[in-house]
Amino acid sequence: MVLPFVTSFRALRHPGTAFQWPPPPLGRAVRDMALVWVPLALVNSALTAVRSLQAYASLRQGALPPGVFDWFGLDPENLQAFLRTLPVPPTFGQVWPWLLLVVPIGVLGTWLHHAVWDHTGLWLLGGLKQKRGFRTSLLAEAEALRITALGTLLGLAGFLPILGPLLALPLLVVDGYLWLFRGFALAARHGCEPWRGVAATVVHLVLLGCFALGLSILMLLMLRMAA
């Protein structure tokens, strides 16, 4: 179990040589990605679910940070009365079976999402001159995400009681690097310059941000019209 993380760490240290020829078959690359990432994602999701259920239970009891009422101009008694009417949260025993279904689907969905958007970004930057097709992007993303699953392992440190908050900024920096790392896989498999692959992941992020901003503005306009 340790070996995949050792090789992943080496790949992250030397991204330019992490993806050698010949490339593995797509099916094997997806299998290897899932075998490494899904177990880590399950642990991460389980810890997130536990923390979320605890936070919801505290919220339901009216445990809010000081100053929230003044900041939003809310009446404390009315808000606490409303919070007590919220539904009782499920137990973790009721939640975890769903994680066994949702997490693998989420992993595959994330893989497809990155492949579509990174492929689009690479196309916009002229990195598809070799005409190797979308299947090549699927392969590159599977290879890269198997390696960047190391970030999910490191992210578990964020759940530590005292050390977790202190590691928030370093973990954010690591996440940023892991996002860009996919670009090296794209460049290697599509036969283009590394900067185009890395820039494609940036274009992906910019496009995604623009769509999210546009959707948020649209929802706000609809709420105003409804009011």
Residues with Cβ within 8 Å of 149's Cβ and at least 6 positions away in sequence, in order, are 8, 33, 36, 37, 40, 41
6-26, pLDDT tens digit by residue? 888 898 999 988 898 889 999
Tokens 């896989």 identify what position? Answer: 185
Question: Taking a C-beta distance cutoff of 8 angstroms, is the pair 95, 57 a contact?
Answer: no
Least confident of 52-66, 107-121, 129-143, 171-185: 52-66
Q: Give me the pLDDT at residue 125, please.
A: 94
Q: Give me the pLDDT at residue 64, please.
A: 58
42-98, pLDDT tens digit by residue? 999 999 999 888 887 877 776 655 555 555 555 566 666 666 777 787 888 888 999
Q: Give me the pLDDT at residue 3, please.
A: 61
Rounded to whole angstroms, how far apart are CA atoms 50 and 92? 7
Question: Taking a C-beta distance cutoff of 8 angstroms, is the pair 208, 186 a contact?
Answer: no
Q: Give me the pLDDT at residue 188, please.
A: 94
Rounded to whole angstroms, how far apart are CA atoms 43 and 57? 21
Question: Taking a C-beta distance cutoff of 8 angstroms, is the pair 139, 29 a contact?
Answer: yes
Q: Give me the pLDDT at residue 63, please.
A: 60
Question: What percent of the chain lies above the pLDDT cut of 70?
Answer: 87
pTM for this model (two decimals): 0.84
Q: Give me the pLDDT at residue 71, please.
A: 53
Q: Give me the pLDDT at residue 74, please.
A: 55
For helices 26-60 and 134-155, angle between their N-to-C axes, nearest 10 degrees = 40
As a whole number, the mean pLDDT across the chain is 87
26-55, pLDDT tens digit by residue? 999 999 999 999 999 999 999 999 988 888
Structure tokens at 48: 């997130």
Q: Give me the pLDDT at residue 193, please.
A: 93
